[in-house]
Structure 1
Amino acid sequence: MSAQTPTSEYLRNALAEAEADYVRANPESEAQFRKAEHSLPAGNTRSSLFYGPFPLTMARGEEASLWDLDGHKYLNFLSEFTSGIFGHSHPHIVAEMRAAIGDGLNLSSHTTGEANLAAAICDRFECFDKVRLTNSGTEANIMAMVTARVVTGRDKIVVFKGGYHGGPLTFVGGASVGNVPFDFLYGRYNDLEATLTTINPHAEDIAAIVIEPVLGAGGCIPGDRAFLTGLQQWCHTKGALLIVDEVQTARHHAGGLQPVLGLKADLTTMGKFIGGCMPIGVFGGRADIMMRFDPRHPNTLAHAGTFNNNVMTMRAGLAGLTQVYTPDEAERLTALGDDFRNRLNTIAEVCGAPVHVTGVGSIMNIHTQSGPITFAEQVAQENKELKDLLFFEFLAHGIYYAKRGLVALNVCHTQVDLDRFADTFKRILTKHAPLWRELEGQAA
């Protein structure tokens, strides 16, 4: 079924009814939104969290559940856009954060915490010889690009349409006007031939290729192994650096996706769960590159940041990485997610719905088109009204995920939770069987 299937009166009416039910059910969230509008543009300070007619305001969370201002309880399948892998307030992490507060915040110096966390990161992920810590994945990606430009003496950075490396490094739907002013070249994700055709004429000017093993914000589209290793080989041949953004995918398997895909980047960036749900970013890689940040050496690169080694993140991150999300737990959650995604796709196929779920492991995206989905431009053609309908119907059943379709598991999710999601998915798709028949007829 085409991703450009025309809409229908049935779909418009169903969506209008679902939105009206949502408004009636959430007066406190609407009131809070109106209040927030007075001091925040659209009542919002994180663009990804806004949706119309107004977003829910959550009041508290516990394990895998959320409660909004109107008292509704939801299973949280958004998991803070993948960074909330520990659920809400995991006891091991809370204990470390309390201990950090007790020992004093902002110690204005080196601490044991940064060394302990850095050692644990390097031990866990073979892509790192040495690392630097930042406050976000966005900062980590900017620093990795800056480093590549300095080390190579070149200016151009290759990125991919559909990619996302932070707020000012957004390429979903094309380059954002708010992006940092680097000299970018744009490849086509999962199309090695087209990408090389674009970049080969500029080979001597390219400092780095920056790639996600899975397009995250671009729709959880897995990278083809031959495509990714082909880019790696090109970098090695042409003297450019390969930067692999594993801010999201580091959670997959015991050591991220690079070992699974046959990759070992010159520089890697991470974030999200590495800080135990506290703000963090990590960039690092080859020792010879990272030694450029040693202030004892000539031509050193400066990298400062008041909260790079803040004591709460250092303690929470170490507990999360070594006590909670251990290598065994990472393998368990990855396998659980793969099975769950396959289960959802089977349900969609049996129901005859133009719905497909992409992803790897515990991160996935619901699309309103039939599969396979391998290119970013396919996502841009989806039926938005249908995607909105699914979102509001899931909310009415007490299940919360991103309106764009992102679903992320966390360690607190049980098989009962996954069964509830799958059963709700089947119930919604079965309810709208007349729509699938209508759209199928239009497509024919």
Structure 2
Amino acid sequence: MLLIYTHKITPRVKYVFKQICTRILGVPVSFTTVIEEFIAHDSLKMSYTRQPLSNEIFVRSNELLFEQGLSDIDITVLPWEDTKCFFPTGDKSAVPFDIFAASFYLISRYEEYLPHLKDEFGRYTAEESLAYKNNFLDQPVVDIWAYKFKAILQATYPDFSFPEQKYTVIPVIDVPMAYEYKLKGIMRTVGGTFKDFFTFKFRRLYERYSVLTGFKRDPLDNYKYIINKQKASKYKFVFFFLLGDFSTYDKNINPQKQKFISLIKHIADYCKIGIKTSFFALTNLDLLKEEKTRMEGIINNAIVGSRHSFSKVNLPESYRNLVELEIPEDYTMGYVNHLGFRAGTCTPFLFYDVDFEVQTPLKIVPYQALDFAFLKYHSLLDKQQSLKRLIKSIKNVNGTFVPVFHNYTFNKQERWKHFKTLFNIILDVKKK
């Protein structure tokens, strides 16, 4: 156990030290404000305060972890060996930056509480973030800092046996629309037919009726391929199905249709199941509760978690609603158009409500790669290289890689031509 001496034990201090030391490094932590207790401790220990007590491992504390609420923080990002950091500490400190305050700033998503510009869907964008502006979005900096801290502990306590963490993958399959043409009902099929005809989309019209008459497979029906991949993989896939009502933003199958229900039940035999929260349920607790109840009624089990429509997270409201409904995990923390680490980490963490200064039970499982983000790389080689760089950065810190693919990603459209290859690289990274 690592004992931490500090002049004040705050919720922020406990939260971030447990994330870095316990969840990332696997070392349990305890805290004290009593100097005698600290001196008597005969195993790993450090002080996190303004001045060192003696010759112990000392990290000079920034005030951020001892404050309450939000303030406009002036941050200067500086280079640090192979990475970057902020909140410099001075000569006496064992590390040149307060990695604990910096980590709290990133994983609490402090900056997303502050005023910022949103995109057309009301989302926080990568371009607004400290990581993007300072060119470290492509690094899991919180995990990198944690391992630098581990090296200091190992050098000071060479006899201590640190647990080995392991790289893992959680492949996410997002299903905003289960089928392109099937199970849409007469009105939607007739409307789609007229739309195809009057917009001269005759190839689509032909495809529609080839599917409806059973001569072709629906272009979004790639479930057999995905299930076969699951059967051969050591990693457990997580499916998110949209069960919201038809709207401007959400156009899935009616959740009452028996064949749609059968599809979800079939997938649940092999994979974990969560809900893809509909666009209007993001701000409507009653709608979200209804969608959660629908899914749990279908799978006869608790859902693994949720993923928001359009990858939209508005802090803190989005996560407070999940906490209220006791949804255990969220898989929305990432960027649509950029590969990388929105919260600066590839280790799941608990949502900390900065307004209420409380750690919640909601586990945030950040994703680092959405299929759309690969579309900006034009060649297969570019896509592969960017993916392998991302995987390497996560493997270096024994993190959790969470890629998000959609059911339509595996169809035969030209834009998704090479995505099965990318998926295979993810599932078997030894084939580099």
Give me the TM-score of the superposition, normalised by structure 1. Answer: 0.25
Larger radius of gyration: 2
| Higher helix content, 1 or 2 | 1
